[in-house]
Amino acid sequence: MNKKLRIGVKSITGCAGCQLSLYFIEDVLLELLDKIDLVAAPMIKSKNEEEYDVLFIEGSVSSQDDLDNLLKFRKQAKFLIALGACASHGCMQSMKHLMNEKEVEKDVYNKFPSDKRLKPITSVPIHKHVKVDFYIPGCPPNNEEIAQVFKWLVQGKRLKVYDKAVCHECSLKENYCLLDQGIECLGPLMNGGCKALCPDYNHPCTGCRGMLDDANLKSGKEMLKDKGFDPDMMIKRMTKYNALQFKEFEKPPEESK
Amino acid sequence: MGKVLEKKRLNEFLSKVSKGGDLIAPVKRDTLRFEIVKDFNDICLEGRPLFPVKKFFSPAKEDLFNLNLTNKNKPFDEEKIKLKPRVIFGGRLCDFNGLLKLDKLFLSEEYQDDYYKLARENTLLLGINCDPAPSEYCFCESMDLEKYYDLFFHDMGDKYYIEAGSEKGKTLIIDLEDYDFTIPSIKCEKKLYTKDISKYYDDSAWDKENDKCLSCGKCTAHCTTCLCFDMIDELEADVKHGKRFKEWDSCQFLNFTEVAGGAIFRKDRINRFKHRIYHKLQYFREKFDMDMCTGCGRCIESCPRLIDFTEVINNFKD
Ligand code: SF4
Ligand code: SF4
Ligand code: SF4
Ligand code: SF4
Ligand code: SF4
């Protein structure tokens, strides 16, 4: 029999909700106990080891501590998975990319000038600093999807992230499109895999799973304008989770050919 | 020559023909959808559902078989679908022509889909004529639709004129009163000027509409005739149990053409857009000698940018 997979879960700046979603699949984890060893899971056990076959990381890189830890984690992990919106796309912390960073910092951190730990750095998803082998996006990530990834891992199957627009799952459910009801849904620009959870409950999609790799932002903006939505408000919505992606779509970084 | 039915006797007629089975018709809740009718008063013939009837023949997600390796004798257990007989009432000519196209494919010897076949054999098609066309996006007049139905109703004010399109249909109305009438053909504002698009693959008219495309897949999900699907195997953690199911997919997505090794054949959005239209108007015709498009206009109406391929084709430079 093969050796058990050494699995770890580590956290940098985030709300810890992604980790929690992972522990919500306890039934699957129990079933897999003969195939995996949860060697690091600080939220649920006190004795934690290092060196991992697979390491899940939640949170974005938002402080020097985060960065040091992340670089260390990468060295310790054979396969690294970004768990959740912060690790995958930057999430709320990265809204700073569209603001004046110095001013934001002044407003928040100057209240505690003596605490060096609170010196932030520009907040980014983890792939900006290390190689990421797989992403489980979402705020929080869907526990069924996490369970699926665990199954694939122990089966040695290639992992596959859902890469179709939110509108697809929404249409498969025959939902009455929110755009046709005057509600500012961003589904056509965003990655699905959530089973159109928000539109299903008449709540517009704000893109917690990131923008599509080939999101047509220009047309998306025209669409929202045509439908009469306030452009500033729409940019705010679009960038709630995806400020960095938004910025890069607007102005692609030099290195990407 | 057909038959005539007074409107006040419609529910009685529908309940008779659907006895022992399900009646499916447009029902309005938040929006209009084809649904199994629970109360005859819910049936709504105003307007046309944006979601077509294909889901009753090949659902958005459908299990095909279960895997159980602990059962040595029968590791694969095929899903047995039991279907009550069904009657669809209130479908439009384009809806049922959509099935005609799908029949060509899924009832063919080469590609027969047993699930689809069973569903087709158990469903009666009772259509209603469009007078006027229910949507500004309809252009079926340009698409040479056939009389494909068991029965076809035409609204005459206080009664329906009914024409049979099959032997089964004839027996359903055998007791009704004869009536002499010719159903007027459907008129549409929107037109498609040509269906021969073979020479125009590189025409610049494609660009303008394509630039608007978001690759969201709504056009294909709502299309009366698109039934492309992905086949997915799911294994449980024990690696002994699992299932295979299929789920609708769309050629409008970037990874639709991804193959082993990661190559993608239609990376550029414009090639995906063109593929959709060439499939509808050329590739299908090459195989089955008819268009795959019914002119229902659902792909336009459902598109967040109202992308309209008739605009592309009607603006090809000669
Ligand atoms: S409600 Fe939103 S996600 Fe659903 S189809 Fe409309 S735009 Fe797409
Ligand atoms: S519905 Fe419109 S925007 Fe979406 S993929 Fe189809 S053509 Fe493109
Ligand atoms: S391509 Fe458009 S018009 Fe043609 S059948 Fe499909 S949805 Fe209807
Ligand atoms: S247009 Fe695309 S999704 Fe529709 S049937 Fe053709 S290949 Fe399939
Ligand atoms: S496309 Fe033709 S048959 Fe279909 S709803 Fe419109 S008018 Fe009726």
Taking contacts as CB-CB distances below 8 angstroms, the residues of chain A near B217 are 164-165, 167-168, 171
Going by C-beta distance under 8 Å and a sequence separation of 6 or more, which residues neighbour residue B165? B147, B148, B149, B150, B151, B152
Q: Which of A133, A155, A177 is the last residue of a domain?
A: A155
CA closest to B52 among chain A residues? A174
- Domain assignment present for residue A256? The answer is no
- Domain assignment present for residue A93? The answer is yes
The domain locations on chain B are 2-314
The identity of residue B64, as a single letter, is L
Q: How many domains does chain A have?
A: 2
Taking contacts as CB-CB distances below 8 angstroms, the residues of chain A near B212 are 216, 219, 222
- For B161-169, the CB contacts below 8 A with 24+ separation are B161/B2, B161/B3, B161/B4, B162/B2, B162/B3, B162/B4, B162/B5, B163/B2, B163/B3, B164/B2, B164/B3, B168/B124, B169/B124
Question: Do A170 and A147 fall within a single domain?
Answer: no
Question: Do A18 and A134 fall within a single domain?
Answer: yes
Question: Do A22 and A112 fall within a single domain?
Answer: yes
pLDDT of residue A77: 97
Q: Cβ of B235 under 8 Å from any chain A Cβ?
A: yes
Q: What is the DSSP string of A108-137?
A: HHTTSTT-GGG-EEEEE-GGGTS--SEEE-
The identity of residue B271, as a single letter, is N
Task: Supply the Cα-derived Rg of chain B in whole angstroms.
Answer: 21
Q: Which of A176, A174, A169, A166 is nearest to A238 (CA)?
A: A166
Cβ(B219) – ligand 2 distance below 6 Å: yes
- The model's pLDDT over A126-174, given as tens digits with 9 standing for 90+, comes to 999 999 999 999 999 998 999 999 999 998 888 989 999 999 999 999 9
pLDDT of residue A197: 95
Beta bridge partners of B231: B246
Q: State how far residue B217 is from chain A, nearest Cα, in angstroms.
A: 6
Average pLDDT over residues A9-20: 94
pLDDT bracket for residue A2 (50, 70, 90) = low
pLDDT of residue B318: 66
Q: Cβ of B30 under 8 Å from any chain A Cβ?
A: yes
Q: State how far residue A257 is from chain B, nearest Cα, in angstroms.
A: 15
Which three-class secondary structure state does DSSP give residue B152? strand
Q: Cβ of B31 under 8 Å from any chain A Cβ?
A: yes
pLDDT bracket for residue A233 (50, 70, 90) = confident
Which three-class secondary structure state does DSSP give residue B177? strand
Question: Do A171 and A151 fall within a single domain?
Answer: no
Let me know: does A8 contact A52? Beta carbons within 8 Å: yes
Question: Do A137 and A189 fall within a single domain?
Answer: no
What's the domain range around A231? 166-251
The identity of residue B281, as a single letter, is L
> Using CA atoms, how far apart are residues B292 and B286, in angstroms rounded to an integer?
11
Contact B253 A165 (CB under 8 A): yes
Contact B250 A164 (CB under 8 A): yes
Q: What is the interface pTM, i.e. ipTM, of the complex? A: 0.94
The identity of residue A10, as a single letter, is K
Buried b (16+ CB within 10 A) or exposed e, A162-197: bbbbbbbbbbbebbbbbbeeeebbbbbbbbbbbbbb
pLDDT of residue A94: 86
Taking contacts as CB-CB distances below 8 angstroms, the residues of chain A near B55 are 174
Let me know: does A17 contact A84? Beta carbons within 8 Å: yes
Taking contacts as CB-CB distances below 8 angstroms, the residues of chain B near A153 are none
Q: Tokens at residue B250, please?
A: 């769309």
Contact B221 A171 (CB under 8 A): yes
Question: Do A103 and A226 fall within a single domain?
Answer: no
Position of tokens 């032997």? B167
CA of B97 to the centre of ligand 3 (A): 11
Q: Torsion angle, CA of A229/A230/A231/A236, rounded to 10 degrees?
A: -110
Question: Do A247 and A122 fall within a single domain?
Answer: no
Q: Are strands A5-11 and B229-235 parallel, antiparallel or unpaired?
A: unpaired
Q: Cβ of B254 under 8 Å from any chain A Cβ?
A: yes
- The model's pLDDT over B214-265, given as tens digits with 9 standing for 90+, comes to 999 999 999 999 999 999 999 888 888 999 999 999 999 998 988 888 899 9
Closest residue by CA, ligand 5 atom 1? B296
pLDDT bracket for residue A115 (50, 70, 90) = low
- Domain assignment present for residue A160? The answer is no
pLDDT of residue A119: 72
Q: State how far residue B95 is from chain A, nearest Cα, in angstroms.
A: 16
Question: Do A13 and A133 fall within a single domain?
Answer: yes
pLDDT bracket for residue A235 (50, 70, 90) = confident
Is the peptide bond prior to B75 cis by the omega test (within 30 degrees of 0)? Answer: no
CA of B278 to the centre of ligand 3 (A): 12
> Using CA atoms, how far apart are residues A118 and A116, in angstroms rounded to an integer?
5
Q: Torsion angle, CA of A26/A30/A35/A37, rounded to 10 degrees?
A: 70
Question: Do A45 and A138 fall within a single domain?
Answer: yes
Q: Cβ of B226 under 8 Å from any chain A Cβ?
A: no
> How many distinct helices (H) and strands (E) make up chain B?
10, 12
Q: Which of A155, A189, A216 is the last residue of a domain?
A: A155
> Using CA atoms, how far apart are residues A165 and B303, in angstroms rounded to an integer?
13
Q: Which of A250, A252, A209, A241 is nearest to A90 (CA)?
A: A241
Which of B50, B218, B226 to mutate to test ligand 2, by most ligand atoms within 8 A of the CB atom? B218
Let me know: does A62 contact A52? Beta carbons within 8 Å: no
Q: Which of A126, A128, A131, A133 is nearest to A54 (CA)?
A: A133
Sheet holding B76-78, edge to edge: B76-78, B61-68, B241-248, B229-235
Q: Where are the beta strands (DSSP E) in chain B?
A: 2-6, 22-28, 32-36, 61-68, 76-78, 86-91, 123-128, 151-155, 159-164, 177-179, 229-235, 241-248
Taking contacts as CB-CB distances below 8 angstroms, the residues of chain B near A180 are 31
Q: Tokens at residue A91, please?
A: 């999430």
Contacting B with CB below 8 Å, chain A residues are 28, 31-32, 35, 148, 150-151, 154-155, 157, 163-165, 167-168, 171-174, 176-177, 179-180, 187-189, 212-216, 218-220, 222-223, 226
How many beta-carbon contacts under 8 Å exist across A and B? 90
Interface probe, candidates B216, B229, B248, chain A, greatest A C-beta count within 10 A? B216
Question: What CATH number is associated with residue A55?
Answer: 3.40.50.700
CA closest to A223 among chain B residues? B305
Interface probe, candidates B51, B55, B214, chain A, greatest A C-beta count within 10 A? B214
> Using CA atoms, how far apart are residues A39 and A51, in angstroms rounded to an integer?
9
Q: What is the DSSP string of B45-61?
A: -SS--SS-GGGGTS-SE
Taking contacts as CB-CB distances below 8 angstroms, the residues of chain B near A35 are 237
Residues, chain B, total? 318
Q: Cβ of B247 under 8 Å from any chain A Cβ?
A: yes
> Using CA atoms, how far apart are residues B118 and B115, in angstroms rounded to an integer?
5
The identity of residue B256, as a single letter, is F
Going by C-beta distance under 8 Å and a sequence separation of 6 or more, which residues neighbour residue B96? B125, B127, B148, B149
CA of A149 to the centre of ligand 2 (A): 30
Which three-class secondary structure state does DSSP give residue A19? helix
- Domain assignment present for residue A109? The answer is yes
- The model's pLDDT over A69-91, given as tens digits with 9 standing for 90+, comes to 999 999 999 999 999 999 999 99
Average pLDDT over residues B285-300: 97
Q: Is residue A113 pLDDT above 90, yes or no?
A: no
Going by C-beta distance under 8 Å and a sequence separation of 6 or more, which residues neighbour residue B25? B14, B34, B35, B37, B43, B88, B89, B90
